Amino acid sequence: DAGVTQSPTHLIKTRGQQVTLRCSPKSGHDTVSWYQQALGQGPQFIFQYYEEEERQRGNFPDRFSGHQFPNYSSELNVNALLLGDSALYLCASSRRPGTSNQPQHFGDGTRLSIL
Amino acid sequence: AQSVTQPDIHITVSEGASLELRCNYSYGATPYLFWYVQSPGQGLQLLLKYFSGDTLVQGIKGFEAEFKRSQSSFNLRKPSVHWSDAAEYFCAVGDPYSGGGADGLTFGKGTHLIIQP
């Protein structure tokens, strides 16, 4: 049973560029959440997707956007990259909010470095 | 707004000794509570969770945590640590009135655990 998978593992971009990160949820999960973890910090919630719609959003600018596909996989897009966007981006999957008290399962993350 | 405080940035424990990692939360009611562990270069692994009921919860790898409503705390404990327990530990809270455990979580800044031989 595959867990949450993320790609790529590492990515290097320059300021002003755009990036797309990808996530496949754990089998049986239909909800995907994205988190940003800066060095030495705890993860911060970016947003959550369920039924192909953004359901919840943390305190992140509109440069951060996402998408969920019919197979429940998800993408995180970041436009106009800033140096401060350098971080580990974590994807977490779970079952539909409110239907069961199931915790989120995390992938190993994508390490994004901005030069 | 909910928040999580992990007062200890680093903790050093000798192998075989007991461990307690502190977590305090700020929330209007009783939130859902979680402890996750992160090894270098890895994602987060769930150690244990509290939703309701018995305030002492058992997790994986011999960890347990106790929810104390009066202290707004959810401290993680282990009676005897192993060298493989060296990692970063995160406490997190979730809103039980929206998505529950599947909701966007609020994390503390983490405690780095160092194990001395």
Q: What are phi and psi of B70, to 5 degrees?
A: -65, -25
Distance from CA of B55 to the nearest CA of A (A): 16
**Best of B5, B24, B38 to mutate (most A CBs within 10 Å, chain A):** B38
pLDDT at residue A97, as a whole number: 63
Kindly list the residues of chain A whose beta carbon comes within 8 Å of any beta carbon in chain B.
4, 31, 33, 35, 40-45, 47-48, 55-56, 58, 90, 92, 94-98, 100-109
Domains of chain B: 3-116 (2.60.40.10)
User: Residue B109 and residue A41: Cβ atoms within 8 Å?
Assistant: yes
Q: Minimal Cα distance from B94: which residue of A?
A: A103
Mean predicted confidence (pLDDT) in A50-63: 92
Give yes or no for residue A62 having a pLDDT over 80.
yes
Percentage of chain A beyond pLDDT 70 is 95
pLDDT at residue B101, as a whole number: 52
Instruction: Count the residues in chain B.
Output: 117
Q: Which amino acid is at A77?
A: N
Distance from CA of B71 to the nearest CA of A (A): 22
Tokens for A114, please give them: 């901005």
pLDDT at residue B116, as a whole number: 95
Write the residue in A33, A102, A105 that is nearest to B104 by C-beta. Answer: A33
CB of B117 within 8 A of CB of B85?
no
Residues of A whose CB is below 8 A from B105: 33, 35, 43, 45, 104
Q: How confident is the model over A10-30, as pLDDT tens digits?
A: 999 999 999 999 999 999 999
Rounded-to-10 torsion of CA A49, A93, A43, B39: -160
3-state secondary structure of B42: coil
Would you tell me how many other CB atoms lie within 10 Å of the CB of residue A45?
A: 21
Domains of chain A: 5-114 (2.60.40.10)
Please give the interface size between A and B, counted as residue pairs whose CB atoms are below 8 Å apart.
Answer: 82
Q: Which residues, given as ranges, of chain B have pLDDT below 50? A: none
